[in-house]
């Protein structure tokens, strides 16, 4: 039985915090219903969807850079001390000595300026690439949503299967407890009649105590497996949950439809898709570094008006003085002493590195395909063998009980065959877990989750 408990024991030491969630409409869930529930409510998916919306805003953010930029400005100044300029005195008085200087005030006590400016980008290479990248980033972000969905569905599937296994484990132990109780009652009657020694009663009481302890542990494991499922689904931790799928129907479906018959399409794997889209972003970066060598052209228009007063009478009918201009600005990169060239070469190296990573990932995925299929087939073969073993050990145990009622064996032999039966059950539970674990790994590798 210890082998089965190794699968589930991690749940006994997993702290699961309760947090508020919208209560479910029902406490009963099939695996598909649990998956649908998690896809609608899990926070990691919601965050990736918000990131996608943010990418949509970035498209407009990048586009608006090349549209007219309009600004207005204004300034009021009170010249506490009017600036003075030093000039030769003979500029105003020819009779003044040549070396004589005078200080003249230039300005007024109060000044007001208003301005209006329009800037329009006509051509810039980086702007063109920026528009392309921002639009492609939406597609890149959508892959992150699919990855988040895949992780959520993978975790829900694992937790759901673990819950079914824990429930089956509990039912097997319950049946063993009931059989042991019945046997103990019959043995006590034989002891009261003086037909057997008290040691045989003690032996069965010890066996019952041992299996009841295992039942307590199995109950805890079942509850913790359900809590793990709730956590994976983003389900209310205070709400009860019931699993409606049948474990053996799932296994029978797997027997009829072997998932290893499917061939891996590397192009459909989410890790490959994400890396391929990253490579395109890297290529955009190379293009951006190249376009930085192109000239940029922009246009501008300005309209300004100003007034100066010695008294604060700007709202009176006195003159304001306007000026206006427009123009073009041209920036031609000539040399950066190799700086731009070096950046472009580094960007090309990143593209090559990503290409190498893609080749490595393809080999890795094909290796994973071989390994995952082998693990699944081995696990299913082991499951069939362990099913025969548990049936055989059960038959031996039941025959031993019959022999005990006929006085042909003692309680120690019954206890030994019971331990053998319980051990076979544990190995069988382990085999079921291995099969379902291998199935979920294949589903993730073949991207079966996001295609449902």
Check residue 436 and give its pLDDT. Answer: 95
pLDDT of residue 14: 41
297: Cβ contacts below 8 Å, ≥ 6 apart? 121, 122, 123, 124, 328, 329, 330, 331
According to the model, what pLDDT value does residue 195 have? 67
pLDDT given at position 15: 38
Mean pLDDT, the chain, as a whole number? 86
**pLDDT-wise least confident of 132-141, 150-159, 196-205, 281-290:** 196-205
State how far the Cα of 349 lies from the Cα of 342, in Å rounded to an integer.
11
Mean pLDDT of all residues in 408-415: 78
End-to-end CA distance of the chain, in Å? 36
Per domain, the residue ranges of the chain are 2-66+124-294+339-445, 72-123+296-332
pLDDT of residue 418: 83
Contacts of 262 (CB under 8 A, 6+ apart): 446
Confidence of residue 4 (pLDDT cuts 50, 70, 90): very low
Q: Helix 247-256 and helix 125-192: axis angle, to 10°?
A: 120
pLDDT of 402 > 70? The answer is yes
pLDDT at 208: 85
127 vs 196 pLDDT, higher one: 127
> pLDDT at position 23, please?
41
**What distance in Å separates the CA atoms of residue 108 and residue 311, rounded to the nearest whole number?**
9
**pLDDT more than 90, % of the chain:** 49
Please give the average per-residue pLDDT across 157-173, as a whole number.
93
CA distances from 172 to 4, 334, 394, 424 (A): 12, 81, 11, 11
Distance from C-alpha of 323 to C-alpha of 47, rounded to nearest angstrom: 52
Q: What is the model's pLDDT at position 163?
A: 95
Q: Give the lowest-confidence range in 77-81, 187-191, 316-320.
A: 187-191
Band (pLDDT 50/70/90 cuts) for residue 108 is confident
Architecture, CATH, for domain 2-66+124-294+339-445? Up-down Bundle (1.20)
What is the per-residue pLDDT for 451?
61
Contact (Cβ atoms closer than 8 angstroms) between residue 232 and residue 155: yes
pLDDT at 115 over 50: yes
**pLDDT one-digit tens code per residue, 10-61:** 444 343 333 333 444 478 999 999 999 999 999 999 999 999 898 888 888 8
Q: What is the pLDDT of residues 204-220, one digit of tens each?
A: 788 888 889 989 999 99
**pLDDT value for 2:** 46
What pTM was computed for the model? Answer: 0.79
HSE, CB side, 13 Å, CA atoms: give it for residue 58: 17
């Amino acid at each position: 039985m210890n082998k089965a408990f190794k699968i589930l024991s991690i749940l006994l030491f997993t702290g699961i915090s309760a947090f508020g969630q919208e209560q479910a409409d029902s406490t009963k869930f099939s695996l598909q219903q649990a998956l649908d529930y998690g896809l609608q409510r899990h926070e990691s998916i919601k965050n990736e969807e918000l990131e996608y919306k943010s990418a949509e805003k970035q498209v407009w953010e990048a586009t608006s850079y090349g549209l007219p930029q309009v600004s207005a400005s204004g300034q009021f100044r009170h010249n506490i001390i009017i600036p003075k300029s030093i000039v030769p005195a003979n500029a105003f008085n020819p009779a003044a000595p040549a070396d004589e200087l005078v200080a003249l005030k230039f300005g007024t006590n109060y000044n007001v300026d208003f301005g209006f400016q329009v800037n329009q980008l006509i051509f810039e290479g980086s702007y063109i690439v920026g528009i392309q990248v921002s639009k492609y980033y939406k597609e890149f972000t959508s892959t992150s949503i699919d990855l988040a969905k895949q992780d959520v569905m993978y975790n829900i599937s694992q937790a759901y299967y673990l819950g079914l296994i824990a429930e089956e484990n509990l039912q097997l132990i319950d049946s063993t407890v009931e059989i042991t109780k019945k046997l103990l009652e019959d043995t006590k009657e034989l002891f009261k009649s003086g037909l057997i020694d008290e040691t045989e009663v003690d032996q069965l009481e010890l066996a019952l105590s041992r299996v009841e302890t295992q039942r307590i542990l199995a109950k805890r494991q079942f509850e913790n497996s359900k809590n793990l499922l709730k956590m994976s689904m983003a389900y209310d931790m205070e709400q009860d949950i019931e699993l409606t799928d049948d474990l053996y129907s799932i296994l029978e479906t797997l027997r009829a439809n072997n998932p290893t018959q499917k061939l891996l399409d590397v192009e459909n794997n989410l890790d490959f898709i994400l890396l391929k889209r990253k490579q395109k972003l890297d290529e955009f970066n190379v293009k951006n570094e190249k376009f930085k060598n192109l000239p940029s052209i922009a246009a501008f228009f300005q309209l300004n008006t100003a007034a100066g007063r010695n008294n604060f009478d700007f709202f009176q009918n006195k003159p304001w003085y306007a000026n206006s201009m427009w123009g073009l600005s041209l920036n031609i990169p000539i040399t950066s002493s190799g700086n731009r060239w070096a950046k472009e070469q580094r960007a090309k190296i990143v593209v090559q590195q990503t290409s190498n990573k893609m080749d490595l990932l393809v080999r890795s995925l094909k290796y994973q395909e071989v390994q995952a299929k082998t693990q699944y087939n081995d696990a299913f073969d082991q499951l069939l063998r362990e099913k025969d073993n548990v049936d055989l050990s059960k038959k031996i145990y039941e025959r031993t009980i019959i022999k005990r009622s006929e006085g042909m064996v003692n309680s120690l032999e019954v206890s030994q065959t019971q331990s053998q039966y319980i051990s076979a059950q544990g190995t069988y539970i382990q085999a079921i877990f291995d099969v379902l674990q291998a199935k979920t790994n294949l589903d993730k590798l073949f991207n079966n989750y996001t295609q449902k």
